[in-house]
Amino acid sequence: MEMDLGSRLKHAWNAFLNRDPPRNFGGYAGGYSYRPDRVRLTRGNERTFVTSVYNRISMDCSAITIQHVRLDDNGRFDSVIDSGLNACLNLEANLDQTGRGLVQDIVMSMLDEGVVAVVPVETDYDPSMSSSYRIYSMRVGKVLEWYPEHVRVRLYNDKTGQKEELVLPKKTVALIENPFYAIMNEPNSTMQRLIRKLSLLDVVDEQAGAGKLDLLIQLPYVVKSEARREQANRRRREIEEQLRDSKYGIAWTDGTERVTQLNRSLENNLLKQIEYLTNMFYSQLGITLEIMNGTADEAAMTNYYNRIVEPIVSAITDEMKRKFLTRTARSQGQSILFFRDPFKLAPIGTVAEMADKFTRNEIMSSNEFRQAIGMKPSKDPKADELRNANISQSSEEIAAQNKTITAGRDAVERSIANQNG
């Protein structure tokens, strides 16, 4: 039920202003050269393989439409609900983010941290006091500590321009966990091992870039006395001067001296380990190099969406449905669904051919196929009939055929129920 402006202002609630106890920050601390609410990965936003994987998955997840919808009596998508929640998911999530930006933020943070909190910031009622409330804005927060019924999160406050800590009831916060936590976020998971190896390789590269060669020079005499030690240091300085003054970094040594470079074996071993862990990560997650560079074929992209993108988006919608819709709302046919555009995965001709084969071979009705590709069911009664449109049938034959199919489905469902009961 819509509320008038006076009633909305009377009951309006803000996660920062209405918390107990309130905190006074006394004004702004100054401006920023970057958006302070932007996602910062736990190891920085360095341009690495890891960041590119996170970015690719989060972009593909944010391209899927998530909507607050109403279902019909058969549990099928019927219409989109014009609600504050739907506006947050599709238009404006908060002062700084669009709906798509919010989803990308959710996925990026979730992949990096393992779990993320989606917090309703502005609502018409206090979520901890009433289970029925309208959401006007929401943000993504970092989970800091867990309690039996509460959770501590760090959340950006657009009123102060600062990130602040809040303790909120779990029942009011969507806590979305990475479906691939065991692969990506466990301390000794494939991704974490790969990140550590990449960090070591960065250290080696920095040393090489700084001109540190890590050479071991074997001199033709024993260095024991102070005079010999001074002679060895003088010889070391001579080689350093040669390298520094040489355009191509070339130096000469005496025929009786032997030079050994220490860091090459370490670097080569690291590169082999990184290659091994990268291939293992790709296979465990179900991603390929072709998907990353945009050259994957239709089969590879379908597998990628089914194995990676869909489980992540399902985790988001399931948790939002559980936390942001009351039991009463769900019983009245409200839900949160995601819709994947089939025409982005396959050419129009392929989708049309699939529709023809499924309906012609009486595998799916027209409305069942429309639901599968995210379209509203048709009001035409024929769209619910399981029949081949290319064969002329009387209404009596169609009714008898549908009755037989329905009876068969009911028998199967009863059999399954008896086995489980």
Return all residues near 244 (Cβ < 8 A) that are at least 6 apart. Answer: none
Q: What pLDDT, on a 0 to 100 scale, did the predictor assign at position 104? A: 96
**Helix (H), strand (E) at residue 218:** strand 215-218
Reading the chain (421 residues) residue by residue, the pLDDT tens digits are 455 666 666 667 777 776 655 454 445 545 666 677 777 777 554 557 788 899 999 999 999 999 999 998 888 898 999 999 999 999 999 999 999 999 999 999 999 999 999 999 999 888 878 778 899 999 999 999 999 999 999 999 998 999 999 999 999 999 999 999 999 999 999 998 988 888 887 776 666 555 555 666 777 777 888 888 888 788 878 877 877 776 666 666 776 777 766 555 555 678 888 889 989 999 998 899 899 988 998 889 889 999 999 999 999 999 999 999 999 999 999 999 999 877 766 677 777 888 888 888 878 888 888 877 777 788 888 888 887 766 665 666 666 666 666 666 666 666 665 655 5
Q: What pLDDT, on a 0 to 100 scale, did the predictor assign at position 60? A: 94
CB 211 within 8 A of CB 361: no
CB 309 within 8 A of CB 57: yes
Say how far apart CA 202 and CA 178 lie, in whole Å: 27
Domain spans, the chain: 5-181, 190-290
117 φ, ψ to 5°?
Answer: -110, 130
**Residue 264 DSSP SS3:** helix
Note if the pTM is more than 0.85.
no
CB 339 within 8 A of CB 64: yes
Residue for token digits 């890891």? 50
